[in-house]
Amino acid sequence: MKILREALGKIFQHCLEGYPYECCGLMIGIEENGRTVLDAVKASNVYAGDRRVRYLIDPMEYYRVERGAEGRGLRVLGVYHSHPNVPARPSAYDIEQFFPWYTYLIVSVSDAGVVEYRVWRLEEGGSSRPVEDSLEIS
């Protein structure tokens, strides 16, 4: 997957501002010869419990972002979220919640800043196994 530097910067800023809570949002862009993320849209983490270890996007907020993206000729390509103080690998709960087709960007953050970021998606063919994807910044 490719991502515009500005979009990645926006994601990092959101994840750092929200620390030590998990932040989340949607990555929007185009799919032509691979995926290119052109913008990131922040979403509220509406999880009712401990937001340091869980996130949840309100379904109707998802809908509004998706329709907004389509109005710009773009589509929702995936989801980003932060992992405060833990590596950017999907947790068991992340994997359970991964939706086929989407790309998931996980940003590990600490009080010192962004530690690492990695992208994942479910293996093709209905598998529930996550595989790591490359991320090219353009």
Partner 1 sequence: MQVKIYLPTPLRQYANGKDMVQVNADTVGEALKSLTDMFSSLRKQIFTESGAVRSFVNIFVNEDDIRHLQGQETKLKNGDTIYIIPSIAGG
Residues near partner 1, by CB under 8 A: 22, 24, 26, 43, 47, 53-57, 59-60, 62-63, 66, 70, 75-76, 79, 81, 90-91, 93-94, 97-102, 104, 126
Shortest approach of partner 1 to residue 83 CB, angstroms? 9
C-beta of 10 vs 61, nearer to partner 1: 61
The most distant pair of C-alpha atoms in the chain lies apart, rounded to whole Å, by: 40
Residue 119 neighbours by CB distance under 10 Å: 21
Shortest approach of partner 1 to residue 101 CB, angstroms? 4
Cα separation of 28 and 75, whole Å?
Answer: 5
Shortest approach of partner 1 to residue 20 CB, angstroms? 14
Strand partners, 86: none
- In terms of Cα–Cα distance, which of 107, 110, 113, 103 is closest to 133? 103
C-beta of 56 vs 115, nearer to partner 1: 56
Decide if 79 contacts 27 (C-beta within 8 A): yes
Cα separation of 120 and 98, whole Å?
Answer: 9
Shortest approach of partner 1 to residue 111 CB, angstroms? 20
Would you say how long the chain is, in residues?
138
C-beta of 34 vs 137, nearer to partner 1: 34
C-beta of 13 vs 97, nearer to partner 1: 97
